[in-house]
Amino acid sequence: MHAGNDIEVGLWRRSGLRIGNPRLQDGLVERIAPGAMPAEILNDYEFREEKVRCGICHNRQRHYWGFTVQMSDGSKVLCGNCCIEKLFGSDVWQGLLRSLRGRRREATLRDLVEPMRAIVEACRRAAGLWIGPAKAFVDMIDFLDDEAPDILVALRNRCDREEGRLTDLDGKVFHVVRGCAALAESPHKLLKQAGDLLREAGILVDDERRDLERLAAIRGELRQIMPRAASLMIEAYQFLDRENLRAIARWASGMVKSRDRHSVITDDGEFVYAIETQRMVMPIPTWPMAVAMPDVGKVTDIFTR
Ligand SMILES: [Zn+2]
């Protein structure tokens, strides 16, 4: 009998197809009635604490491993792992095992594969909404990195050390940068990771000989990544907020002006960074925030349904 890997055993236990102490079940008979045939294996047990007496064979052998069997007269009996085949023959035994395997397959589909299909779909929907804004955030950071690396470095340092407090030349705080966490960890990178996992999971759920351990592992990884990505997306939105960008621009303007090299100007709807006479303009990305704004609680719920 297939002993099952950890994932399978977990699923069987949840469905009552694998049990611990078999004697805790109601309605067990000590011995089968004469003429009764085994009709169905209800579950198998692994009980390491104590050997359990068999109700089928004559000498009532004791076993750590065995089955709960429904008999043709409706009675329920415990039996050892090898006794049915010995007493009733290989055909009967194989038929019972086929039926048990079928029910285990159904339990696996019902409890792991189908929920995983729903998880993959829900995660894809969410990631699909976020990927555009996440890319816009990456573009903004790349732009700063190319055109104003000193400002990006200063901004990152402030976020790391001072929780994003921007101070003027007199040391007075005039803005606290929103969305600092997205500067430290990219939501876009996380979404790409999630995308790879979702593609793999999409293939696994449709594969008849699916790798359940891998599927369960992916589920665990997505359960970590998706809520984290959701919370970083919120940070990225906060960073991209116009008032936030304007405040950063004003701060950067003051900072670089003091060195009389660069100047940063803000226009309506634009984050403008000018170096000497060269003026570079980057539009502030606009997104339908209400549609795509993640809800971390809802994203976590995807995995608990
Ligand atoms: Zn026996």
Give residue 285's pLDDT band: very low, low, confident or very high (50, 70, 90): low
149 shares its domain with 297: yes
Which is more confidently placed, 162 or 131?
Answer: 131
**Within a domain: 134:** yes
Dist. CA 3 → ligand 1 center (Å): 19
Dist. CA 98 → ligand 1 center (Å): 20
Dist. CA 6 → ligand 1 center (Å): 27
45 shares its domain with 179: no
Dist. CA 95 → ligand 1 center (Å): 18
Dist. CA 298 → ligand 1 center (Å): 52
Dist. CA 173 → ligand 1 center (Å): 81
Q: Which string of b and e fits 225-248 if b means at least 16 CB within 10 Å?
A: bbbbbbbbbbbbbebbeeebbbbb
Which H or E run contains 280? strand 278-283
Dist. CA 53 → ligand 1 center (Å): 7
Q: Domain containing 122 — which CATH number?
A: 1.20.140
Dist. CA 14 → ligand 1 center (Å): 26
**Within a domain: 133:** yes
67 shares its domain with 144: no
Dist. CA 41 → ligand 1 center (Å): 14
Dist. CA 237 → ligand 1 center (Å): 67
Using the predicted structure, report yes or no on whether residue 284 has a pLDDT greater than 80.
no
**Within a domain: 98:** no
Dist. CA 106 → ligand 1 center (Å): 28
Dist. CA 108 → ligand 1 center (Å): 29
161 shares its domain with 246: yes
**Within a domain: 72:** yes
pLDDT number for residue 305 = 65
Q: What is the pLDDT of residues 78-135, one digit of tens each?
A: 998 889 999 999 999 999 999 999 999 888 888 888 899 999 999 999 999 898 888 8
pLDDT number for residue 125 = 93
Domain range for 60 is 6-88
43 shares its domain with 159: no
Dist. CA 100 → ligand 1 center (Å): 19
125 shares its domain with 70: no
**Within a domain: 73:** yes
Q: What percent of the chain has pLDDT over 70?
A: 85
Q: What is the pLDDT of residues 163-177, one digit of tens each?
A: 888 877 677 888 899
**Within a domain: 142:** yes
Alpha-carbon distance of 271 to 12, in angstroms, equals 58
* Structural domains counted in the chain: 2
The vertex-233 CA angle with 231 and 238, nearest 5°, equals 100
172 shares its domain with 241: yes
158 shares its domain with 285: yes
Dist. CA 54 → ligand 1 center (Å): 4
83 shares its domain with 148: no
Q: Are strands 28-29 and 76-80 parallel, antiparallel or unpaired?
A: parallel
Name the token pair of 68.
């709960």
116 shares its domain with 52: no
80 shares its domain with 143: no
Q: Which of the residue ranges 234-243, 250-259, 279-288 would you say has the lowest mean pLDDT?
A: 279-288
Q: What is the pLDDT of residues 38-89, one digit of tens each?
A: 999 999 998 889 889 999 988 888 888 899 999 999 999 999 888 999 999 9
201 shares its domain with 296: yes
Judge whether 146 and 246 are in contact, CB under 8 Å: no
Q: What global pTM score does this model have? A: 0.72
pLDDT number for residue 213 = 83
Dist. CA 23 → ligand 1 center (Å): 15
**Within a domain: 207:** yes
Give residue 196's pLDDT band: very low, low, confident or very high (50, 70, 90): very high
Give residue 277's pLDDT band: very low, low, confident or very high (50, 70, 90): very low
Dist. CA 33 → ligand 1 center (Å): 14
Dist. CA 64 → ligand 1 center (Å): 11
**Within a domain: 226:** yes
pLDDT number for residue 164 = 86
Name the token pair of 24.
């805790």
Dist. CA 36 → ligand 1 center (Å): 15
